[in-house]
Amino acid sequence: MASIPQGSTQPVDSNDETSYTIPLIIVTILFFMWGAITSLNDVLIPHLKGIYNLSFAQAALVQVWFFGAYFLVSIPAGLYVRSFGYQKGAVTGLVIASAGCALFYPAASSGYYFFLFALFILASGITVLQVAANPYVAVLGPAKTASSRLTLTQAFNSLGTTLAPKFIAGLILGGATFLTAEEIAKLDPNGLAAYRLQEASSVQGPYLVVAGMLLTLAIVFAIIKLPKIAQAEDDAKQSFKEAFVSNIEAIKQFPHLSLGVIGIFVYVGAEVSIGTWLVNYLGLTNIANMDEADAAANYLWLYWGGAMVGRFIGFAALRFFRPGMVLFTCASVCTLLLMSVVFMDGKIAMWSIILIGLFNSIMFPTIFTMALHNLGKYTSQGSGLLCMAIVGGAVIPYMQGTLADNIGLQLSFLLPAICYVFICFYGKKYASLYDKKQYS
């Protein structure tokens, strides 16, 4: 599989974090933007589900197409960034993402599957950014604080996921008046098309604004100067076949990497799945009986806001505690909270699902940096495998949607609970991976 250019890079001075402050600030802007875009899916899904009268599994196709791009595009994205560098990769990714947002305008009159196509283009651009940015941040400073540094930038990613639902949910869902399946069946083709166009048009304005912001960022990134971090010469010359073989060798030699790939898969899948169905969950009569606009505008942002707060806390905590034990503790709490989500009702269940965001906070950056620990020449390959594992955000929500159609939405949350059990295992198994003696 494609290697990621910055994954095998080395900082000019690994002990001088201050020299990388400005580059980190600039890259953090990217984290903020793709966080905002990703969380909008959680507003979009209940909206499209109502417009097109979709099942849970059908509505989950939004996440399948969005996160499926990580799997399909990571290889060419890695090759592109490896050939042209981080900065050009960022500009290209921003332009592609902007085009995807702009496609939401014609999608409003073209049907559900055009929305899915627009989301795939948008996610393809985000993938180019994600492929390069995570390992880039990881090498901008000492290895022992990589988890802390990536957690800080992920906190601003969470700031984007927090603000987007809060300020945009009302624009998309506020005036929605969904018809029932029986009412839709009574409409003639022209009436059905008019109804869907009217409801779908609410996404046009917000996504055009986002398209403009992304294009502006692309222009800014095209003209600013970012430090070029040296890339291993052997990796730069590596062919696709050699990269694929290196990936297999890395998986065989480093069990903490192979299990880390599974960890990223199930973590992203669980986090995205919970966010995907949170609005619908709060609409259940035995939970909160909320309408979609209220749930999205007033409570969805708290789920993502908890992740933001937790990442700022984690930025400090991970400098004093072993990442593996922090990961184990947070995943254990998430498992317990999901038991409450499944088996409790009312306010206890409602706040349990919202609180999961707080304990999700440190998981992605911690698993990512633990999996890359001491890979040496295989760091690039490891980064590529971990980024491709983000496809869990496509698979797990769809699986949960299928479960929800068959056993009910509340019981379907047992699936993300199983995901967190694996993360508990990973954190406990590699709790001593970052022994302070290694950095003395």
Looking at residue 9, what is its pLDDT? Answer: 42
Output the CATH code of domain 5-439. 1.20.1250.20
CA distance 329 to 321: 11
CA distance 403 to 60: 12
Looking at residue 81, what is its pLDDT? Answer: 76
CA distance 382 to 248: 10
Residue at 327: amino acid letter: L
Looking at residue 2, what is its pLDDT? Answer: 36
Query: How many beta carbons lie within 10 A of that of residue 216, not counting itself?
Result: 12
3-state class of 302 per DSSP?
helix
Looking at residue 239, what is its pLDDT? Answer: 54
CA distance 22 to 20: 6
Residue in the structure block whose two tokens are 């899948």: 269
Looking at residue 405, what is its pLDDT? Answer: 96
CA distance 387 to 371: 12
Contact present, 86 and 79 (Cβ < 8 Å): no
CA angle 265, 120, 4 (to 5 degrees): 55
Looking at residue 242, what is its pLDDT? Answer: 58
Q: Find, among 46, 65, 123, 33, the residue nearest to 398 by Cα.
A: 65
Query: How many beta carbons lie within 10 A of that of residue 250, not counting itself?
Result: 23
State pTM to two decimals.
0.78
Looking at residue 243, what is its pLDDT? Answer: 59
Low-confidence ranges of the chain (pLDDT < 50): 1-18, 232-234, 236, 435-440
Looking at residue 435, what is its pLDDT? Answer: 47
Looking at residue 266, what is its pLDDT? Answer: 97
Looking at residue 14, what is its pLDDT? Answer: 43
Query: Which tens digits make up the pLDDT trace of 301-329?
Result: 888 888 888 877 887 777 788 888 889 99
